[in-house]
Amino acid sequence: MLASIPFLQSSFLSNLSLSSVKPLPCPRQPVYPRIVALKPIHGKVICNTNDQTVNVRTIRYRIAPKYKKRVRVVRKFQAHDPENKFKIGDLVTLERCRPISKTKHHIAVPYVSPHLPKGGDGDAVLNLPLQSAQ
């Protein structure tokens, strides 16, 4: 019964030549998944009672599909604050990172306004104290 299968016979194997097999084309550069840039998330710290964690409230606006009006979308994120330096009311920017816990996927960094002059701290230029220092 096995002799009736053509590829198990020795005559079939002798007719097969490796010169007819062409290698698959290999790309010069490896193909990586496309990187999609994320918009930075800015928000205000609303709770800092947990150790190394802050709750940040963010506000975004989207267009309602039916009425074509801007609707405010409020969302809360848990962010990692390793030095416990942020107080309630501070403005922070959330940077995406690997999951730290079940709900923490961001690291809180101080918010830097794009409208301030370069090379200096905005509070030093305006001589304003931080809201958390008051």
Give the pLDDT score at 99.
Answer: 87
* Within a domain: 117: yes
Q: Which domain holds residue 116?
A: 41-133
User: Contact, 73 vs 60, CB < 8 A?
Assistant: yes
Give the pLDDT score at 35.
Answer: 47
* Within a domain: 31: no
Window from 84-93, 94-103, 119-128 with minimum mean pLDDT: 119-128
* Domain of residue 85, CATH code: 2.40.50.140
* Within a domain: 27: no
pLDDT tens digits along 28-85 = 555 545 444 677 899 999 999 999 999 999 999 999 999 999 999 999 999 999 999 9
> Model-level pTM?
0.58
* Within a domain: 36: no
- Using alpha carbons, list the distances in angstroms from residue 126 to 14, 17, 40, 68, 123: 86, 80, 24, 39, 5
* Within a domain: 81: yes
* Within a domain: 88: yes
Residue 15: which region, alpha, beta or left (left: phi > 0; alpha: psi -120 to 50)?
alpha
Q: What is the mean pLDDT of residues 12-41?
A: 59
* Within a domain: 66: yes
Q: Which residue has the tokens 């090379």?
A: 119
Pairwise CA distance, residues 56 & 78, whole Å: 6
**Total domains, the chain:** 1
